[in-house]
Amino acid sequence: MAITSFDTVTELARAMPGIVRDTAYGAPALKLGGKLVACIPTNKSAEANSLAVRIDLEHRAELLRQQPDIYYITDHYAPHPTVLVRLAKITRADLKELLRDASRFVAASASKAAIPTTPRKRAGRGSAARDKR
């Protein structure tokens, strides 16, 4: 059965913890912890009745290679970890799996961004040079 609306996308995503309906770029979107998971694409390069879903680039390449009739990309979206989905061609089960993968990707990306980095001390004329005096 074809997916015909963002309401159906939202219904499938609601089963996943933390996913909420919101907006992105003025269009309906799904977010996790304030981070975009999926949305209706607003760029004119996307086909009508499509969904933009955040996934890692390797996964995207695999989807594009295996099912180009369902998944596609345009020049606008190519630099971003995003795949475009033709909603009329994807099954509910496949969309649910894709949204689960996207949720995991966003959660992992958010946790990596939250890890504080400690600046390394610069080598040079600091205390080591003073100690030799």
Residue 92 lies in a domain: yes
Which pLDDT tens digit goes with each residue over 3-22?
Answer: 778 999 999 998 899 999 99
Per-residue pLDDT, 59: 97
Per-residue pLDDT, 4: 73
* Percent of the chain predicted with pLDDT > 70: 81
| Least confident window among 5-9, 26-30, 58-62, 122-126 | 122-126
Per-residue pLDDT, 124: 47
Residue 124 lies in a domain: no
Average pLDDT score over residue span 12-36: 94
Predicted structure pTM score: 0.81
Residue 110 pLDDT level (bands cut at 50, 70, 90) = confident
Residue 18 lies in a domain: yes
| 107: exposed, middle or buried (Cβ count in 10 Å: 0-12, 13-18, 19+) | middle
* Cβ contact 42:129 at 8 Å: no
Residue 127 lies in a domain: no
Residue 118 lies in a domain: no
Provide the CATH number for the domain around residue 57. Answer: 3.90.1150.30
Residue 77 lies in a domain: yes
Please check the confidence at residue 121 and state whether its pLDDT lies above 50: no
At 4, the amino acid letter reads T
d(CA 129, CA 83): 53
Residue 132 lies in a domain: no
State which residues form the domain around 45: 6-112
Per-residue pLDDT, 63: 98
Which pLDDT tens digit goes with each residue over 72-109?
Answer: 999 999 999 999 999 999 999 999 999 999 999 999 98
Please check the confidence at residue 133 and state whether its pLDDT lies above 70: no
